[in-house]
Amino acid sequence: MAHGGSLGELRAANLALVISILEQAGPMSRADLMRRTGLSRSTVSSLVVQLLEHGALVEQVDRGTPYKGRSGRPPILLELASVTGVVAGVDVGHRHVRVALARPDSTVVQERSTSLDVDDSPRESMDRVATLLDELLAESGHTRADVRGVGLGIPGPVDHEGRMTSGILPTWRGLRPADELAERTGLTARVHNDAHLGARGELAYGAARGHRDVIYVKASTGIGAGLIVDGQLVKGATGIAGELGHVQVDVNGVMCRCGSRGCLETEVSGPKLVGLLQPAYDERLTIPRILELAESGDPGANRALNDSGRRIGRVLANIANLLNPEQVVVGGTFGAAPALLAGIRDALDRYSQPTTAAAISVLGGALGERAEVMGAIAVALDPPRMVVDR
């Protein structure tokens, strides 16, 4: 349970908790709400009265069954009168800002993205997020008051306090994106790095749906990962678990933007791939063009992607030996390339324990470039944290 906050804030959080539980679990009795929320009988009764008076809840005509088959009068069941409002998912990438609005059942009703050099313009990026959000709300006939939750993804490490850390994005370091968004919109966001949200998106709506032990790899401008253990995202002691790209693979390697030396990202990343292949081609290469070449059977592009997959897979093999996952899901700009997936598969088979490797399926993400924004929607729909009953 979280402590602190005014009585008004605590009551608002308790109201949101009751609504969220009824949305997810369906009709239930007042006693069931007490058990699910941990709130006292008097508090639940007061909250239910308020929600009934405002028309947010209704009492079902048909009664439920006594708890665990006990005797006695069947309880009155409560249900939401209607599903209202929207949640917002925000994906801030290195070169884009994407915002989506979704209903409480996760159906996306509006979505838009725009190009932007995010790395060097943190406050302009948050300005753009606020503008896109307001535009989508207006187009969908909603206001900020209708937004019931916001998930926000940032392309860099974010600690448990919501603060940007490390030197990966120097101009963002120390910034609190949720505070920046709140200043512009009055809305409170839950912040994660982009790879974490990609993992959440694929877990909730994509290739990892129905699985509980998954390593999600985002292969794009950088290399990141989201670790799902027993169905839960692993954040780590300071919130930055999954920095796959900053595992050291060469003690004498080149300096990395994180300040360390010989990180995986210095050998495998979008810019590295372009730089490696460019001397062999007359045309100016980009990641989309390299993917086109690979799809058409170009041997150079496929060889480079396969080598990149092997390097990534070599690091993943050690993680797999520790976590014993059932899936490795690869997303990001060039993550679903067959040659890269084949390289990862080969390295896992070679370097992880045989029984560990045999348990792992390696596949491309199902959501593509929308994995992060869908993960942000999943985060926005998470039930509110339990609060102190007062």
Element (H, E) at 150: strand 147-154
Of residues 389 and 374, which shows the higher confidence score?
Answer: 374
Is the Cβ–Cβ distance between 98 and 90 less than 8 Å?
Answer: yes
My answer on whether 149 and 26 are in the same domain is no
Evaluate whether residue 164 is within a structural domain: yes
pLDDT recorded at residue 75: 85
Q: Give the domain CATH number at 295.
A: 3.30.420.40
My answer on whether 144 and 18 are in the same domain is no
- State the residue for tokens 């725009």: 114
The domain in which residue 224 lies consists of: 209-366
Evaluate whether residue 386 is within a structural domain: no
Evaluate whether residue 268 is within a structural domain: yes
My answer on whether 255 and 120 are in the same domain is no
My answer on whether 217 and 361 are in the same domain is yes
Residue 39 has pLDDT above 60, yes or no: yes
Of all residues in the chain, the percent with pLDDT exceeding 70 is 92
My answer on whether 188 and 253 are in the same domain is no
Q: What is the domain count for the chain?
A: 3
- 78-136 tens-digit pLDDT: 988 765 789 999 999 999 999 999 998 889 999 999 999 999 999 999 999 999 999 99
Q: Which of 39, 65, 80 marks a domain boundary?
A: 80
Of all residues in the chain, the percent with pLDDT exceeding 90 is 74
My answer on whether 227 and 357 are in the same domain is yes
Residue 345 has pLDDT above 90, yes or no: yes
Evaluate whether residue 387 is within a structural domain: no
pLDDT recorded at residue 389: 42
Cα–Cα distances in angstroms (integers) from residue 41 to residues 30, 45, 82, 159, in the given order: 8, 6, 25, 36
Three-class DSSP category at 139: helix
My answer on whether 132 and 236 are in the same domain is no
pLDDT recorded at residue 390: 40
- 138-165 tens-digit pLDDT: 999 999 989 989 999 999 999 988 999 8
Beta strands in 73-120 (DSSP E): 78-80, 86-92, 96-102, 108-115
Evaluate whether residue 389 is within a structural domain: no
Of residues 88 and 383, which shows the higher confidence score?
Answer: 88
pLDDT band at 385 (very low <50, low <70, confident <90, very high): low
pLDDT recorded at residue 370: 95
Evaluate whether residue 1 is within a structural domain: no
Q: Is the dihedral of CA 260, 264, 265, 268 positive or negative?
A: positive
My answer on whether 213 and 361 are in the same domain is yes
For 340, phi then psi, to 5°, come to -70, -45
